[in-house]
Structure 1
Amino acid sequence: MNTREDYLTYIIKQINTTPYIADDFLKNDNEKFLYRNAFTNIKNNLDDFLGGYRENRLMIMPGLRGTGKSTLLFQAYEYLIEKGIDKNRILYLSLDQLKSFKKSDISNLVDIFVEDIHHRYLATLDEEIFLLVDEAQEDKYWSKTVKAIYDQSKKVFMIFTGSNALDLEINLNSVRRTMFERIYPMNFQEYLYLKYGIADINISSDLIDLFLTGNIENASKKETNLITSASVLKKPLMKEFEYFLLYGGFPLSLNLSEINTHRKIYELIERVVENDVRHYKAYNGNTKQIIFNILSFMATQKPGGLSVNNLSKDIGSSRSNITELLNILEKTHLIFHIKPYGGASKMIRSPSKYYFLSPTLNASINFTLGKHNPNNRDYLGVLAETYVASTFFRLKNTISKPHGIFAPTGKGMADFILTTFEGNRVAVEVGIGNKDKSQVKKSMNKYGCDYGIVISSTTNLIKKDGDVIFLPLTTFSLM
């Protein structure tokens, strides 16, 4: 049994060693990592808190493992130190590491931090303190602790990360002013910035407007900025985009070889399956094997309606078990699904389309299975469709645009139907290589779409042919 003195010793060690851990964590070959887009919101909220604004003092950062949440926490720590905050006022905890402390929890550690380091109670704190907690889901009572701290003191700023996104969101319903910063795998714009320092591309809002309204004017004007900025690359932008699809979805890949990238990402997938699934379902070796069979099946097939019945027969597991495991994999954010377009009966009868959250996950599984073929255009086309789907998924879950993402049903259809709050319907087709507008037009006619969009390498610049827009993959990738 650990004593209060044991915990206090641990906290003092954390306070004294975190500056060194952060400094080492945030560098590669003595060069500091650049900031992901999410850091801007962290920085702004910290500045508001330090300026006296007390409402937004709780940030929750759910996301898939490997997306850089720990790095963001250490960057927040470093920023506070640079702002003149004494290290004694910042407590960084990794609950993965705290597993060695039996019966330890956040509440106990925070109480000792406040009472024994600051000689106050939470309610009587007279200066701001900062609590940075990684892998919060390892403490099953963490959300109750968060609410208790939030209610007792306006002097505590908290950032909590976790890999089990759904738990993080559901458990915080009782805290009114929670700021969610969902952390996704890197998009191509972040990749270009973090790897090459290309930062002067500002076209995302114009591309979103293009999809929601069909207006190409503003995006077309800014597209030339992309071409100019990409001139620093040593290869064509499309080749860099293909490399990104294969290897560049996660920050960890920026300083690794191609082979080591796939190995690390597959290890990440294994950790998700072995650690995060346990939070939702009793786990054994058979469960693990079934999950990896599902993921392998998804990775080696073209995206399409995933028949649970067929999957059940192929894998040798019940339909209800397959359905449950697919739902759990979505909760970990490894995968997501898009429902078929149509009424309630259509959604029930027709299978959904399942995608990986990043095409690099798909590529890493294929690499492990010995089926990775970066020169195959069909393979790259699958990864490109996955990237487009994950982009729509990210935008819907962060800014609610588009309003809906659906899959057309029937042969020869486009890949997606998007709906907007204004009532527009948009047919979207994706591919690598030359793409005509036949599938988009067929879907437009069937579903009464207002316009269609073909995303491919058919053109180098945005162009419009009647009611169909042709959008280069490299331009779309910056949305």
Structure 2
Amino acid sequence: MEIPKTELFAVLQEFNPWWSSQAVTDLSEWERSAAVPIRTWMKDTDSRRALVLGGARQTGKTTLLRQAIRQLVREGAAAGNILYATFDHPILKLAGLERTLAAWEELFVPVAGQPQWLFLDEIQYVADWQTWLKHQVDFKRGRRIVVTGSASPLHDSKVESGVGRWETLPLATMSFGEFLKLRGIDPGPVPEARSLKPCFEWSPAEFARTAALAKSLTPHFHDYLLRGGFPEPASVSDLTRCQRLLREDIVDKVLKRDMTALYGVRRVLEVEKIFLYLCYHDGGIVDVAALSRELDGVNRQSVNNFLELFESTHLIYRLRPHGYGKEVLRGKPKIYLADAALPGSVLLLGRKLLDRPDRLGAAVETAFFKHVFTRYYADQPVFTYWRDKAKKDLEVDLIAQIGERLVPFEVKYQDTKVDLGKLKGLRLFLENHGIAQGYLITRRWEDFGLLDVPSARPGRERALLDAKILAIPAPLACYWLSS
């Protein structure tokens, strides 16, 4: 279909108001933490690599691009050298990437001595975009390109073409710290920390003093679990409307629109059934065979295909079991949803989530995983879980492997004091791998501190290992990992 140039010009003018000397005035000065690595990339003009920003719907990718453009304009970049285009707009989608760029070049002659900045939103609607981006980086000197997508390029067969050509930055939903800032909540005199590890050197007095200052985080953390980390819904005052927006703007549009438009999925009812199952089992280990039997008519291969699509559209994270070889390949995946508030909103739990220990514990585990994932992504960790082959009740919720280092985490969000007997899986993992430090994510502030680790082997229970477990309340752990 032929798009009249006048219409294409009009759309581009609308998306690029700085071309006509209009300031970008409809943006908040508040920025997500991801603005920092984006600006670092923008300032590194010696690098020719593009930047690929991926994340679920409504995580703030477009806002981050427009805030980056606002910064360029404020710093005096030539307005005509900056292009913003989003390919989920029907006119630009029909016109395609090359015709859109040709229209921009027809409107403006590049200012010599300055880079051209291309901010291309929802790039997944452009056919063969990876090849185009590779060509731009290799042969178009003087162009700096940022692309975003709600469907992950990391799961595309052409990912290898991007090695050395672009950096990837995953944009998860907001952290607990970002949530507090968005809602204008002052956390009070809570000490700042960029890592949990220094706590292993603390005295009992330091733990007690910090707990007294940080206890006020708990009600805000529970509100965060209910509202979630998608900026627009989280900013709504009414919780019922907030959760309705999560269902309609995030879940429904991905399941009913993106799955169809991007992947040609026609069996929407089956997609909804599987996603509902995952909401009931968030943070759980998924037995694909059992799920296939439970959803009569959905075979195993279809279930696996749909799980891959959920991962590609950033609705879930999948963790493999810890180990090597066949035990990993044949192991059952553990699934975390993209945000802790999604299951509660889909299942219409509202504030009742806080009175359901099983649902609340799952939400806390999901939220904590997301914070660890986001905080340490730059270190390229591998995330797994562990379960003893013989005794299935012995497990570790989350293991982060950075290089040769293994960091195990166990989440026990409960009102009663955690019994070391219930940590046998964590203790056994520490003992088997010779690890000196493990983490227990708790609810009670009275538990904040260091635990000695007795052996988990029969007959040796009284022997203390050369290891410590740091018990830390989930609100403080997530707050610290937000920085």
1:432 maps onto 2:431 in alignment: no
What one-letter code is carried by the residue in structure 2 that aligns with 1:23? T
1:303 to 276, 283, 295: 283
Correspondence 1:335-374 to 2 at 5 A: 335-367=316-348, 373-374=353-354
Q: What residue ranges of structure 2 are gaps of 5+ in the alignment?
A: 453-467
Matched letter for residue 370 of structure 2: S
- Maintained 8 Å contact 2:244/2:345: yes
- Partner residue of 1:113 out of 104, 116, 119: 104
1:102-147 deviations in Å (ceiling 9; x for gaps): 7411222213312x22336xxx955332211111111113233323
Equivalence map 1:313-328=2 (5 Å):
313-316=293-296, 317-328=298-309
1:16 corresponds to which residue? 17
Corresponding residue number in structure 2 for 1:260: 241
Where in structure 2 are the equivalents of 1:60-459 lying within 5 Å? 60-97=52-89, 99-100=90-91, 103-114=94-105, 116-119=106-109, 126-166=113-153, 171=158, 173-175=160-162, 176-196=164-184, 198=186, 203=192, 205-207=194-196, 209=197, 215-217=200-202, 228=213, 236-256=216-236, 257-267=238-248, 268-278=250-260, 281-284=263-266, 287-301=267-281, 303-316=283-296, 317-367=298-348, 373-395=353-375, 397-401=377-381, 403-409=382-388, 410-424=392-406, 426=408, 428-434=410-416, 435-445=418-428, 448-449=432-433, 450=435, 451-459=437-445
* SS across alignment from 1:253: helix
- CA deviation after TM superposition for structure 1 residue 173, in Å: 4.0
Q: For residues 182 and 219 of structure 1, what CA distance do their matches in structure 2 show?
A: 38
Following the alignment from structure 1 to structure 2, what is the Cα–Cα distance between the partners of residues 295 and 220?
46
Amino acid corresponding to residue 169 of structure 2 in structure 1:
E
1:45 is aligned, of 41, 48, 56, to 41
TM-score normalised according to structure 2 size? 0.82
Q: Deviations for 1:439-469, whole angstroms, at most 9, x for unmatched residues?
A: 3234422661524322112335741121322
Looking at structure 2, the residues matched to 21 and 320 of structure 1 have their Cα atoms a distance apart, in angstroms, of 51
* Alpha-carbon shift at residue 398 of structure 1 (Å): 3.2
SS at 2:114 equivalent: coil
Runs of at least 5 residues in structure 1 that lack an aligned partner in the other structure? 27-31
> What root-mean-square deviation, in Å, do the aligned CA atoms of Structure 1 and Structure 2 show?
3.3
2:410 aligned partner, one-letter code? V
> What are the Cα deviations for residues 326-345 of structure 1, in whole angstroms up to 9, with x where unaligned?
11111111111222234434
Q: Is the 8 A contact 2:399 2:409 kept in 1?
A: yes
- Describe the superposition over 1:331-389 as per-residue Cα deviations: whole angstroms up to 9, x where unpaired: 1111112222344343355422211021012222122x789533323321111111122
Q: 1:328 to 1:335 in 2, by over 3 A?
A: same
- Give the structure 2 partner of residue 469 of structure 1: 470
CA distance in 2, matches of 1:227, 1:290: 49
* AA at the equivalent of 2:240: I
Amino acid of the structure 2 residue aligned with 1:432: Q
Calculate percent identity across the aligned residue pairs: 20
Distance across 2 between alignment mates of 1:173 and 1:219:
50
Which residue is 1:29 aligned to?
none
Pick closer, same or farther for the CA change 1:55–1:227 going to 2, 3 Å. Answer: farther
- Alignment: residue pair count: 451
CA distance 1:358–1:154, shift in 2 (3 Å): same
The more displaced of 353-362 and 446-455 is 446-455
Map Cα deviations across residues 378-430 of structure 1 (whole Å, 9 max, x no partner). Answer: 321111111122233334543234x4421324115442344453444635233
Alignment partners' CA distance in 2, 1:261 and 1:455? 27
Which residue identity is paired with 1:245? L
Rounded Cα–Cα distance in structure 2 between residues aligned with 1:205 and 1:260: 34
Deviation at 1:219, TM superposition (A): 12
Distance 1:43 1:358 in 2: 26
Question: Taking structure 1 as the reference length, what is the TM-score of the superposition?
Answer: 0.83
CA gap 1:220/1:184 in 2 versus in 1, 3 angstroms: farther
- Cα deviation, 1:286-345, whole Å, max 9, x if unaligned, reads x21111111211212363321112211221211111111111111111111222234434
Distance 1:75 1:39 in 2: 8
Identify if the C-alpha distance between structure 1 residues 143 and 354 changes in structure 2 by more than 3 Å, giving closer, same or farther: same
SS at match of 1:164: coil
Deviations 1:137-164 (A, max 9, x none): 1111323332333334332222211101
